[in-house]
Amino acid sequence: MQTIVQTLAAELGQREDYVQNVITLLDEGNTVPFIARYRKEMHGSMDDQTIRTLADRLAYLRNLEARKNEVIAAVEGQGKLTEELKQAFLAAATLAEVEDLYRPYKQKRRTRATVAKEKGLEPLATLLYAQAPDCPEPSEAAKDYVDPEKGVESAEAALAGASDIIAEWISDDAAIRKHLKALFVQCADIVTAAAKKDQGDTVYRNYYNFTSPVGKVQGHQVLAFNRGEREEVLKVSVEMNRDAAMNVVCRYAVKKPRCRSTGFVEAAAGDAYDRLIFPSVEREIRALLTDAASEGAIGQFALNLKPLLMQPPVKGFVTMGLDPGYRMGCKVAVVDGTGKVLDTAVVYPTYGERQKQECIAKLSALIKKHKVRHIAIGNGTASRETEQMTVELIASLGKESGVSYMIVNEAGASVYSASPLAAKEFPDYDVNLRSAVSIARRLQDPLAELVKIDPKSIGVGQYQHDMPEKRLSSALDGVVEDCVNAVGVDVNTASAPLLARVAGLNAGVASNIVKYREENGSFTTRRQILKVPKLGEKAFEQCAGFLRVPESANVLDNTAVHPESYGAAEKLLALLGYTAQDVREGKLVRLRERMKEYGEKKLAEACGVGLPTLNDVAAELMKPGRDPRDELPAPVLRTDVLAIKDLKPGMELKGTVRNVIDFGAFVDIGVHQDGLVHISQIADRFIRHPSEVVAVGDVVTVWVLDVDEKKNRISLTMRKDKVKKE
């Protein structure tokens, strides 16, 4: 029987000693980013996602082991544990298998079978279910169990009770359930229908008459009809060929050759399937589909969230944030290159032509006063009108102004602006103005701003409100943590929410870091961080490599080189004839070449580190203080706008991927309404999921397939071969 380490190694395709090392590191309280970055020699350079998967599976397998021990002890306490049953428990690969095996021994609520047992009918059930060659006729055998005092008035009543007992035994049979579930997955259909005959047009209309094999139904379909069922718009059921299912039940329950009680047992088996097994298996199949769909949606949400957080920042420019609106007007905030608020205003571009011109004049004055370079527009209510006004504004300023704009996903901005965190950060500003500040900062540094918002509110998934809360939060928090630590954090400028996402730190310690620098000035070395209250050696070990101190005299303090490897970095420089000053001045162009000449393995031994660590140190020395996001394609900034009526089939456009879902990708092409590239239009080859080709934030070339102005729908393709020839 496999151990947990062997199971994980097989599942992940990793060496057992590497898996054991990761388990040990996790058990010692090390964080995933720290293990992934600074313990590569111990795990063969697994990435952070693999280590998170390992940690999740480890928790599940340990929980499985604990549950096995619980049920084995419980059955043993009843005096019913056999060696065969014990081995079956130990061999179970899932919690569902354990529960199926344990089902006959669980304490049950009062059932028809328990009532029959109380009437003394279990021996009769045992006799008939044994199906021995010399078994008497059931009606004859039942006469011996007629007992009016116990409530058994006749032989027919005795047989009815015995049938209930046999039906429960069949229902509790783990082998029957296991094979039936496999059959349902392979052969059953999931069927949905409108809850009412006259059900009006709703977003669920595609499911008013929908059938799909259970094994082929898509995750987004499952989540859609589940929600429709909760809202009482749809009815959902599982349909299975009863004869095929009964063949499985009878294969286990009915013995050969036939005897006098065979027909009776077959009838009890039919009752067991109809009354007990089918409803139970239907619920389990629905639950399995929902769990799989939820895991898929959570995985896609996490996949979309990462590129959104890792969008290249538009750093160092004065930026104007516009939070569009109708009744309350458009909120305006101007922030400098570091995100500090310079000015705020409220304008009313949607109230009429006069108010729009007043708005343009007011914003033009703010742009000239503060030398604004970029405008960030939230994509919510009144975004289209605000974008049109912005295009007129930029035109009035002239091309020489160099001003451009970008539509920014404002999901979660209102949640942040009403939060205690925003109130603490901007106590003197109205809630709506805080939102405008957040929108401006999202263009300047998406990661630093988005970490202030609950990841579930960022809106790059589907059906996130239907997901298991704890599982979704865990997955998304892991993505945020990985992104923050991959980029690194300036300890002297980072906000408390950003610092709290650094490996080894929590909200309390992050607040203490901010408070310490406010009281004592900027940090000048990494080691100085140890003076922060409640930040001990273990926390320092975990966080130090991810914190940057640009003000430090030691250039290594502004890199991802961990303090434990400073000696190795210094030795590497000395052996290859470089100095710390060369690192500052970027003079290590030939570093890799010199490493090869010296011999990388020999060099690693001389520096006292493994080859993966040596290569990581070298990469940091060549680009100290680098931001990995700077190597990604820059975001698309615009100066003009298209209306949906301007789009024609075959038109070629550049766009930014805003969301990736199971059936396609939504792309911002400079029209208020994002266009949909269906999965069939993403690549000229078969793909199982759009994420195989595109990710949130990607800049892509698309062609217009079709435009429906009435429904505000734009169909796009990324396949040039699908473009209509004029």
- Phi/psi at 336 (5° precision): -80, -175
Q: Say if residue 122 is in the same domain as residue 100.
A: no
- DSSP strand pairing (341-347 vs 489-490): unpaired
Q: Say if residue 620 is in the same domain as residue 656.
A: no
Q: Are 189 and 245 in contact (CB under 8 A)?
A: no
Q: Say if residue 290 is in the same domain as residue 159.
A: yes
Q: Say if residue 563 is in the same domain as residue 536.
A: yes
Q: Give the CATH number, domain containing residue 145.
A: 1.10.3500.10
pLDDT score of 411: 77
pLDDT score of 726: 43
Query: Domain end: 48, 83, 105, which one?
Result: 105
How far from 59 is each of 20, 26, 98, 241, 505, CA to CA, in Å? Answer: 14, 11, 17, 38, 22
Instruction: Assess if residue 217 is contained within a domain.
Output: no
pLDDT digits (tens, 9 = 90+) for 226-270: 999 999 999 999 999 999 999 999 999 999 999 999 999 999 999
Instruction: Assess if residue 487 is contained within a domain.
Output: no
Query: Domain end: 65, 88, 105, which one?
Result: 105
Instruction: Assess if residue 307 is contained within a domain.
Output: no
Q: Say if residue 286 is in the same domain as residue 327.
A: no
Instruction: Assess if residue 207 is contained within a domain.
Output: no
H/E element holding 677?
strand 675-678
Chain centre to alpha carbon of residue 98? 28
Instruction: Assess if residue 437 is contained within a domain.
Output: yes
Query: Domain end: 631, 653, 673, which one?
Result: 631
Q: Give the CATH number, domain containing residue 526.
A: 1.10.150.310
H/E element holding 130?
helix 122-130
Strand order from edge to edge, sheet including 319-323:
341-347, 330-335, 319-323, 374-378, 404-408
pLDDT score of 221: 93
Quote the DSSP letter at residue 625. T
Residues β-bridged to residue 92: none
Q: Give the CATH number, domain containing residue 90.
A: 1.10.10.650
Q: Say if residue 42 is in the same domain as residue 170.
A: no
pLDDT digits (tens, 9 = 90+) for 668-683: 887 767 899 999 999 9
pLDDT score of 485: 94
Low-confidence ranges of the chain (pLDDT < 50): 726
DSSP state string for 515-581? HHHHHH-S--SSGGGGGSTT--HHHHHHHGGGEE-TT-SSGGGGSS--GGGHHHHHHHHHHTT--HH
Q: Could you give the residue ranges of the DSSP H alpha helices within 408-506?
A: 413-417, 420-425, 431-444, 446-450, 469-487, 496-499
Q: Say if residue 275 is in the same domain as residue 330.
A: no
Q: Say if residue 461 is in the same domain as residue 357.
A: yes
- Give me the number of domains the chain comprises: 5
Q: Say if residue 293 is in the same domain as residue 388.
A: no
Structural domain including 546 reads 520-631
Instruction: Assess if residue 13 is contained within a domain.
Output: yes
pLDDT score of 465: 75
Q: Give the CATH number, domain containing residue 712.
A: 2.40.50.140
Chain centre to alpha carbon of residue 80? 43
H/E element holding 251?
helix 242-253
Q: Say if residue 440 is in the same domain as residue 527.
A: no
pTM of the entire predicted model: 0.81
Q: Say if residue 336 is in the same domain as residue 445.
A: yes
Instruction: Assess if residue 425 is contained within a domain.
Output: yes
Q: Say if residue 142 is in the same domain as residue 13.
A: no
Instruction: Assess if residue 622 is contained within a domain.
Output: yes
Q: Give the CATH number, domain containing residue 419.
A: 3.30.420.140
Sign of CA dihedral 261, 262, 266, 269: positive
